[in-house]
Structure 1
Amino acid sequence: MNNPGFELQEDGLERSHSSIKPHYPYYECRHEEKKSCSLMKIFLVCFLACLITTAIGVMILCLVYLGHIHEKRSQEIIIPMYPSMDIKPPQDTNNDTNTDPRFNFMRHLGTSQVFAFEGGDIQWARYRNNPKDYSDENELQFGASINQHQSKMTVGTLRIVSKGLRAPHWHFNANEHGFLVQGMAWIGVVDDGGVVTTYNVTAGQVIFFPKNTLHWVKNVGDEDCLFILFFTTHDELSTLDVDDAFYKTPEDIAARSLKPVGGIDFIRTFKKPKEDQAINLPENLAELIQTAKYVQSNESDYGKYFYDLKGSREFVFPGGIIQWARYRKNDTGLNNTEKIYSESINSHADTLTLGTLRIKSNGMRQPHFHFNAHEMGYVISGCGQIGIVGGRPVPDFAIGIGDVFFFPIGTQHYIKSTCDEDLFMILAFSTGNQLETLDMDDYFHATADHILAQLFLKKQEEFKKIPKLKDDQAVNLP
């Protein structure tokens, strides 16, 4: 046998019955002490056998324990990281008892970090490649959530003071849709042929900039402009401003390209400001500009980048109003500019549907879900309550001015107004095709009574108590 404990024990038993006297160098017995000596030998053999057997047992238990620890550590090592993150972020927030599942679907954008510039500021609810760039754990949780769900949306607010300018720039990895909450702005868009389109926007109107299209925004009113901006990416937004592109270009290359009077010496007169000029407003602006014209291009040109959402058709329900800036397969009822915009967003990949939702006090956008789009929204006024039914339980949560919320595709959700004033929101949906939605009352009415009776364990006639009302109850009142 391989076990030395068993070998010693068997050897001892054989020798105790042998007529040959064993020789033990460390213990010698006299003839008259033969009986007591034999008992002592048996005792010693048994004692040694017990010690060795115990030692082997302890060793086996240690090996099993170490193997278990190794397996556990191996499992921890193979937990996947979030894509493109440098360090490991928190684990699945729905399973982490130390996190609040609400922040997978909601962000207090109004209280988030403010990125201030000379001419205004920007606030973000977005994904970051480096977790250290988040201002707090809740922001990280929201950013990780929209990235994991591949939301194709990032949201931010842009405030531009009077005469301020959002510098000409373009986005490498996203289309941009914007809704002007207040103020007046002059917009410029330069397409791939170098053709410039300019137009003016006022509160309640929508702007659109395709990916990798140069554009700028100038405040031409007396009050601040406030835009709610949606970008069609769930990765970190990549942007390049014209001034940054210029200063990163070698002087001789810039001179050769622009061919200014004075050549490279003229290019060298440009001095890069210390402060970021993303939203620009120089102190000596009056000295720099003598005349400024805010030209409006032809409707056929600016219609691709503009939609008068406030002036569009109102879809009126018992509990509120919805207006849409979206693609429609059937463009009946759209004016010429709306038709141009509808075709424009449908012709570009990964564009968004935008809409405003106004819910009267105590009104509710009833439970529903979208077949073909994620949804993201921003609260402009009022307050409300949101409920989500998805893969995992999420407690209902309150929303107020400046809050952003997110509903993954296929997730049933409702929004209820809980203030004395109307709850007013701008919504974005991750599709440039016609939005597909199903409300709870619609899928109950579409399901046969006998199927419902079998499912809910109620008599079939009970479901006659659910009336099909004449008016659409998408936004209803009690």
Structure 2
Amino acid sequence: MHQELTIASHIFELCGCHLQKLGTEIHGAAKWPEVALQCGILEAQCSLDFVTEVDLPLSLAKVTRHIPFLWAAQNHTSHYDIEVEKKSHWSMLHVFLICFLASAITTVLGVLIVSLVCTSKAGFQLQPNHEGVVQKCAVDPQKTPRTSPYNPQVDPKFQFLHHLTKSKRHEFPGGTIQWSRFRKNAKEYQSEEEMEFGRSINAQHSKMTFGTLLIKSKGLRAPHWHFNANEHGYLLKGTVWIGVVDAGGDTVTTYNVTAGQVIFFPRNTLHWLKNVGSEDCMFLLFFSTHEELQTLDVDDTFFSTPEDIAARSLKPQGGVDFIRTFQKQTEDQAINLPPNLAELVQNASYQQSSNKLVWRYFFDLKGSTEFRFPGGRIQWARYAKDGKGLNPNEVIYSEFLHSKEDALTLGTLRIYSNGMRQPHFHFNANEMGYVISGCGKVGVIVSPALTTDFTIGVGDVVFFPVGTQHYIKSTCDEDLFFILAFSTRNQLQTLDMDDYFHATANHILAQLFFKKQEEFKKIPRFKEDQAINLP
């Protein structure tokens, strides 16, 4: 009993200053719960710390039951009777327990909410460590890639490789389309490997989708536009007449494209592609989205518009009766080639607009500057600050490209037989490439726990997330030839392995690799850039 009174007295002293601030006057037991509640809120931590320090096996109820008597003694309120004191004690205890329970529940809920919010952030991922145990890692999405969930049934290389030739062929009257892309519906993938690639480019926020577009002779990719992506294309073969309609419809730009040249259509720009050659044409297309591509074709919008609304808009002779003469085809006309085309079209002209208009949507990649290295060559369709190294027409393309959000940088990479694009990484862009000819080997390093290498051949698509170190080696007798796209409209920032080794102080390398400092003098420097080298 003496110990209980001593501890209660101490708690009462801790609370005393606050009770005085409250200006509470105790005239009866009915007032005590209010005071006890305020005292508990203001000094609960102090009283609990004191009990912990003395380490006595006393319950909080035993201690707090003496506090009313101490209050009464200090204020000379000897008129309390024992029944009132008991009611006061239990009322105070009930209030305290209710408050304590509410605080505990609130704290638990708060912790759960904060945990859910934190784990939903893109910057925090679950990744395997070296022992295969899942752990939380803070990730900068612009520096370290988010790897797709580990699937023991699928080789990790398919996060970076897609065999496009095995994908579904979407057939139309005038041609064929094949895709390397993300699909929300898993059933739309042709295989587990294809799904792994689609999920990877989506999870990495690659801002890239790839497709091949084959148009038969005289076929037409119907006038259309894309809601959520810019479109960049490289014409692999054939001759095509392009049309682009600017906002307002006041300016229509038309031009001809031949193999090795690049086209560019900004988001929501209406455009068409007409094969004017005698053979099939083939486009290699990149779209600046990692989501499902959203597209509207002009014929689809027309037939989806109420007849009276279409008549009111176009005001044709015959009004709505004329609109009703249009017949929707049973087959999708995305790539169109009517069997009676000669009857439908009697006079077709394929005009070429002025260069100042054309070069906003066109770049002569095959005729551009070649950057030569010991093991190969690179050509670029890209933005160059201040137009450095570009001719006047190329400057038009460069500036227009740079003005469009999420525009891509395109380039061709030719690696001679046994040549190698040495290990490197990009600071500011994801990379996607399509193998046009040749064969080779690719290696990717995401982390010490995720490295892979694999062979590639014609028709394969590769993907390198921003910051991942990768190399490409030509292993055939013929050149390995790529079309590449990078997810930046700015100048591409790249660092090669030999450059960062030479830039690092040799005593730092000696300490890191447990190797004598003078040994690093054996790594030579070359006057010629070794970005693509030979043995």
Instruction: State the secondary structure of the residue aligned to 2:327.
Output: coil
Instruction: State the secondary structure of the residue aligned to 1:358.
Output: strand
* CA displacement 1:265-297 (0-9 Å, x = unmatched): 000000100000000000000000001100000
Aligned AA (2:508): I
Q: After superposition, where does 1:32-51 map in structure 2 within 5 Å? A: none
1:417 pairs, out of 466, 474, 478, with 474
Equivalent in the alignment of 1:223: 279
* CA displacement 1:215-248 (0-9 Å, x = unmatched): 0000011111100000000000000000000000
Aligned AA (1:174): A
Matches of 2:185 and 2:277 in 1, distance apart? 38
Equivalent in the alignment of 2:244: 189
Equivalent in the alignment of 2:153: 98
How far off its partner does 1:332 sit?
Answer: 2.7
Aligned AA (1:395): T
Matches of 1:275 and 1:401 in 2, distance apart? 31
Equivalent in the alignment of 1:50: none
Q: After superposition, where does 1:362-401 map in structure 2 within 5 Å? A: 362-391=418-447, 392-401=449-458
Q: Select between 92-101 and 273-282 the one with higher mean Cα deviation.
A: 92-101
1:454 pairs, out of 511, 516, 529, with 511
Matches of 1:100 and 1:267 in 2, distance apart? 54
* CA displacement 1:36-64 (0-9 Å, x = unmatched): xxxxxxxxxxxxxxxxxxxxxxxxxxxxx
TM-score if structure 2 supplies the norm length?
0.72
Q: After superposition, where does 1:60-71 map in structure 2 within 5 Å? A: none
* CA displacement 1:339-371 (0-9 Å, x = unmatched): 000001100000000000000000000000000
Residues 170 and 213 in structure 1, CA contact (< 8 A), matched pair in contact too: yes
* CA displacement 1:306-334 (0-9 Å, x = unmatched): 00000000000000000000001141331
How far off its partner does 1:93 sit?
Answer: 5.4
Instruction: State the secondary structure of the residue aligned to 1:390.
Output: strand
Matches of 2:297 and 2:231 in 1, distance apart? 15
Matches of 1:94 and 1:450 in 2, distance apart? 39
Equivalent in the alignment of 1:314: 370
Instruction: State the secondary structure of the residue aligned to 2:398.
Output: helix
Equivalent in the alignment of 1:137: 192
Aligned AA (2:307): E
Residues 440 and 455 in structure 2, CA contact (< 8 A), matched pair in contact too: yes
Q: Select between 391-400 and 436-445 the one with higher mean Cα deviation.
A: 391-400
How far off its partner does 1:94 sit?
Answer: 5.7
1:123 pairs, out of 178, 191, 197, with 178
Equivalent in the alignment of 1:51: none
Matches of 2:456 and 2:397 in 1, distance apart? 31
Equivalent in the alignment of 1:207: 263
Residues 169 and 215 in structure 1, CA contact (< 8 A), matched pair in contact too: yes
Equivalent in the alignment of 2:205: 150
Matches of 1:208 and 1:332 in 2, distance apart? 21
Residues 378 and 412 in structure 2, CA contact (< 8 A), matched pair in contact too: yes
The two structures, once aligned, show a CA RMSD in angstroms of 1.8
Instruction: State the secondary structure of the residue aligned to 1:193.
Output: helix
Equivalent in the alignment of 2:92: none
Equivalent in the alignment of 1:246: 302
Aligned AA (1:443): Y
Instruction: State the secondary structure of the residue aligned to 1:201.
Output: strand
Matches of 1:98 and 1:401 in 2, distance apart? 25
Matches of 2:292 and 2:434 in 1, distance apart? 20
Structure 1 or 2: larger helix share?
2
Residues 148 and 199 in structure 2, CA contact (< 8 A), matched pair in contact too: no
Change (3 A) 1:266 1:436: same
How far off its partner does 1:394 sit?
Answer: 3.0
Matches of 2:346 and 2:339 in 1, distance apart? 15
Q: Select between 330-339 and 416-425 the one with higher mean Cα deviation.
A: 330-339
Equivalent in the alignment of 2:497: 440
Residues 93 and 100 in structure 1, CA contact (< 8 A), matched pair in contact too: no
Q: Does 1:476 align with 2:533?
A: yes
Q: Does 1:429 align with 2:486?
A: yes
Aligned AA (1:110): T
Equivalent in the alignment of 2:360: 304
Aligned AA (1:402): G
Matches of 1:184 and 1:284 in 2, distance apart? 22
Equivalent in the alignment of 1:347: 403
Q: Does 1:109 align with 2:186?
A: no
* CA displacement 1:420-462 (0-9 Å, x = unmatched): 0000000000000000000000000110111111111111111
Structure 2, unaligned stretches of length 5 or more?
1-118, 123-146
Matches of 1:138 and 1:319 in 2, distance apart? 32
Matches of 2:403 and 2:361 in 1, distance apart? 12
Identity %: 70
* CA displacement 1:95-125 (0-9 Å, x = unmatched): 3322110110010001211000010000000
TM-score if structure 1 supplies the norm length?
0.81
* CA displacement 1:53-80 (0-9 Å, x = unmatched): xxxxxxxxxxxxxxxxxxxxxxxxxx98
Matches of 2:346 and 2:294 in 1, distance apart? 34
* CA displacement 1:113-153 (0-9 Å, x = unmatched): 10000100000000012111112111111110000000000
Matches of 1:94 and 1:412 in 2, distance apart? 20
Matches of 2:177 and 2:451 in 1, distance apart? 30
Structure 1, unaligned stretches of length 5 or more?
1-78, 83-91
Q: Does 1:256 align with 2:312?
A: yes
Matches of 1:169 and 1:336 in 2, distance apart? 30
Instruction: State the secondary structure of the residue aligned to 2:395.
Output: helix
Matches of 1:172 and 1:232 in 2, distance apart? 11
Matches of 1:247 and 1:133 in 2, distance apart? 27
1:159 pairs, out of 214, 236, 261, with 214
Matches of 1:211 and 1:411 in 2, distance apart? 28
Residues 180 and 202 in structure 1, CA contact (< 8 A), matched pair in contact too: yes
Instruction: State the secondary structure of the residue aligned to 2:248.
Output: coil
Residues 187 and 218 in structure 1, CA contact (< 8 A), matched pair in contact too: yes
Matches of 1:139 and 1:333 in 2, distance apart? 40
Aligned length: 394
How far off its partner does 1:395 sit?
Answer: 2.5
Matches of 1:149 and 1:397 in 2, distance apart? 20
Q: Does 1:265 align with 2:324?
A: no
* CA displacement 1:149-194 (0-9 Å, x = unmatched): 0000000000001000000000000000000000000000001121
Residues 148 and 203 in structure 2, CA contact (< 8 A), matched pair in contact too: no
